[in-house]
Amino acid sequence: MTSPIPKNAVLVGIQLPKISTEELESSLQELGRLVTTLGYKVVGTVSQRRQSDQTASVLGAGKLRELAEWTGGTGEVASMVNVKLNKAALKRLKETEETESITGEIVDEDQTTLTDEERGSAQIVIVDKDLSPSQLRNLETAVGCPVLDRTGVIIEIFSRHARTRAARAQVEIARLKYIAPRMREASIATERQGFGARGGESQLELDRRKIKDRICELKLELVSIENEGKTQRARRSQEACVALVGYTNAGKSSLMRGMTRSEVLVEDKLFATLDTTIRTLYPETRPKILISDTVGFIKKLPHDLVASFKSTLDEALNASLLLFVVDASDPNFRSQIEVTQSVLDEIGTGDIPRLTILNKRDALTIDEVAQLREEFPDAIMISALEKEDLKRLRNEILLYFETDMEDQEIFVPYTANGIVGEIRSKMRVLGESYDEKGVKFQIRAPAALISQIRKKLP
């Protein structure tokens, strides 16, 4: 069976006055990776400097025609089929067109000349911004093919990668909230106003009501799932937990696999991991330390998605320590740190201790490593692929948790059932000796846990 041929996509970037050329290029490169993750092939890019991105068709007339050459469209914005605009709407449309032509919302650069091979080669347009419903419709009529904005791409990736009940429900809520305001009546629905609907509702109104009802159902389902999660987290509340957080594709899953020796999905794709995975630190320690891998962050992450995935990030909220994983080989990692920090603050993890992990050291030069050590003196620089680096990181984690532990001696008589097993499973045993009455343990553990054990002794 042959694999399906990927759709060709052309990317659209808008450079507003406060956006530098470097920022625009970086954002478009990231969008290209998102699009590739969806299975599309990027064949071209159209970008333009604009004073505003709130105009009717986003691009100026010249760039719109250039974009349409990629797709075989007309380059002209068509009016809505079978929908007559009233006088007020026509006046607003005319004023918008006049404003664009006078103030030039454009700085309309020369058009790029396409080759014969490039003309008509794209089957979808991806815009590196959020589009309003009218902007989406206008662009689709001009280019003659489907158009997705950045949020639409991210939601589509989330939809494909979600595996657990919680992640699927969260993604569907975000998707429904995204499409609800973008729904519009087709000509048939307009002509059949009230046909087969209760109380004269249009098909559009019925569809929107169904979406609202479905969102309510999903939220109730999430409450149930979250209650189950709270019960599971309560069982783990006495155990040390480390949460991996960071920008998407920073190497969290590779680090998770190396630190826990577990079969965790590792792919060079954005958002390869959406569902929280929890494993035990390897080699297993006493007390046991849990590692959780969480969904990655990204620039321009829609607020609804941050809110929807808050429960997925609850493992980070309940962690004793955050490992802030950074792809140090990415030229834009500093801005990625800012994005991650912003999202972490938004979900309320500001007070949780963290270790900054500069990952992918193997992709850096000696000079770059030296510079980063000077810039981030408290960070731990590793490669998730190097065993010695993983061993060093493991020791740092143990050191963190053992800082607040105490070394004590406990004598457990043979008549105390179950205590020996509890000590071995929950505490670090530094030494032990036996006599005719029982076992003497030299242990290292939190003071509260030692106190609990002593209360159980006869």
CA–CA gap between residue 304 and residue 282 (Å, rounded): 36
Better-scored residue on pLDDT, 84 or 386: 386
- Work out the average pLDDT over 274-280: 76
The bridge status of strand 438-446 relative to strand 428-434 is: antiparallel
Is there a contact between 299 and 317 (Cβ–Cβ < 8 Å)? no
DSSP secondary structure letters along 376-393: -TTSEE--TT-HHHHHHH
Is the pLDDT assigned to residue 199 strictly greater than 90? no
Top CATH class of 8-155 equals alpha beta
CA–CA gap between residue 237 and residue 219 (Å, rounded): 26
Better-scored residue on pLDDT, 269 or 282: 282
Is the pLDDT assigned to residue 105 strictly greater than 90? no
Structure tokens at 348: 């309320």
Read off the pLDDT band of 234 (50, 70, 90): low
The 10s digit of each residue's pLDDT in 148-195 is 999 999 888 888 877 778 778 888 988 998 888 887 644 333 444 444
Read off the pLDDT band of 5 (50, 70, 90): low
**Burial (0-12, 13-18, 19+ Cβ within 10 Å), 150:** buried
- Work out the average pLDDT over 351-372: 95
Better-scored residue on pLDDT, 200 or 425: 425
Cβ count near 89 (within 10 Å):
11
3-class SS of residue 203 = helix
What is the predicted pLDDT for the residue at 86? 53
Q: Could you give the percent of the chain with pLDDT greater than 70?
A: 79
The 10s digit of each residue's pLDDT in 114-158 is 888 999 999 999 999 999 888 999 999 999 999 999 999 988 888
- Average pLDDT over the chain reads 83
- Work out the average pLDDT over 302-313: 63
The dihedral built from the CA positions of residue 158, 163, 169 and 172, taken in this order, carries a sign that is positive
- Work out the average pLDDT over 300-328: 75
- Work out the average pLDDT over 63-89: 75
What is the predicted pLDDT for the residue at 201? 61
CA–CA gap between residue 454 and residue 355 (Å, rounded): 33
Listed range (52-61, 80-89, 332-341, 369-378) with the worst mean pLDDT:
80-89
Read off the pLDDT band of 255 (50, 70, 90): very high
Is the pLDDT assigned to residue 23 strictly greater than 60? yes
Read off the pLDDT band of 400 (50, 70, 90): very high
Buried b (16+ CB within 10 A) or exposed e, 238-250: eebbbbbbbbbbb
Amino acid 192 reads R
What is the predicted pLDDT for the residue at 232? 64
Is the pLDDT assigned to residue 382 strictly greater than 90? yes
Q: Residue 107, CB half-sphere, CA atoms under 13 Å: how many?
A: 10
What is the predicted pLDDT for the residue at 106? 45
- Max avg pLDDT among 97-111, 232-246, 383-397: 383-397
- Work out the average pLDDT over 199-225: 85
Single pTM value for the model: 0.77
Read off the pLDDT band of 379 (50, 70, 90): very high
Read off the pLDDT band of 438 (50, 70, 90): very high
Tell me the C-alpha to C-alpha distance, in Å, between residue 165 and each of 25, 47, 276, 303.
Answer: 37, 39, 12, 21
Q: Which residues pair with 443 in a beta bridge?
A: 408, 429
Read off the pLDDT band of 286 (50, 70, 90): confident
Q: Which residues pair with 241 in a beta bridge?
A: 290
Angle between helix 165-179 and 203-235 (nearest 10):
150
Shortest CA distance to 221 belongs to which of 187, 265, 172? 172
Shortest CA distance to 449 belongs to which of 418, 420, 425, 426? 426
What is the predicted pLDDT for the residue at 288? 85
Listed range (99-108, 197-206, 308-317, 438-447) with the worst mean pLDDT:
99-108
CATH architecture, domain 238-402: 3-Layer(aba) Sandwich (3.40)
What is the predicted pLDDT for the residue at 314? 66
